[in-house]
Structure 1
């Protein structure tokens, strides 16, 4: 009786797919705080989020910014964005709060 050739399980070594969406925080030269909440996962696009003084936990990212840019990749939808200037004045009452751009379906570079 002939035996069938056994089939070996092959495990593919694939990298995790990048999160499809991007939110960008742009500082305006005034110390400000931000909080971003999504209904999926969120992660900071940076070498060292701790150095940026940003906390990312599950579906929430919060931190401070005065100049420069901070980027976060996420899946799902943005459910809340809260930005305040150094006096605690929120947008739109403060022209000093950072700009926030949300882009869906952005390929990773």
Structure 2
């Protein structure tokens, strides 16, 4: 019996028809952690997700950010976003937590 298993490349080549939505995490210069959950699939747009310190598994992405931007394409709806700064203070109570932008039905940028 033969089993066909495909592995998708999670590097910037996400199909906007399959993953039409975009979430962007913008660091504010303070080490912070985030967790994003969707009710569909999620993929990071990056050349090297491991170097970004981000783990993507099924419908959840979690990682850390200090400066810069991390982007993820996803299908379905945003289910949950949890963001905390370096000392565990959650958004919106900390002005240091990253900004989170969610866009539905956008083309690849």
Same fold by TM (over 0.5)?
Answer: yes
Question: What secondary structure, in the 3-state scheme, does the structure 1 residue paired with 2:51 have?
Answer: coil
Deviation at 1:95, TM superposition (A): 0.5
Gaps of 5+ in 2: 1-12
Give runs of aligned pairs for residues 1-109 of structure 1, distance below 5 A.
17-18=15-16, 19-109=19-109
Question: What secondary structure, in the 3-state scheme, does the structure 2 residue paired with 1:62 have?
Answer: strand
Give distance in 2, aligned partners of 1:20 and 1:102. Answer: 11
Given that residues 40 and 75 in structure 2 are in contact (C-alpha distance below 8 angstroms), is that contact kept between their aligned partners in structure 1? Answer: yes
Question: What secondary structure, in the 3-state scheme, does the structure 1 residue paired with 2:50 have?
Answer: coil
What is the number of residues matched between the two proteins?
Answer: 95
Question: What secondary structure, in the 3-state scheme, does the structure 2 residue paired with 1:51 have?
Answer: helix
Q: TM-score, normalised to structure 1's length?
A: 0.84
Root mean square deviation of aligned Cα: 1.4
Give distance in 1, aligned partners of 2:36 and 2:85. Answer: 15
Give distance in 2, aligned partners of 1:106 and 1:56. Answer: 21
Larger Rg: 1
4+ runs deviating over 3 angstroms: none
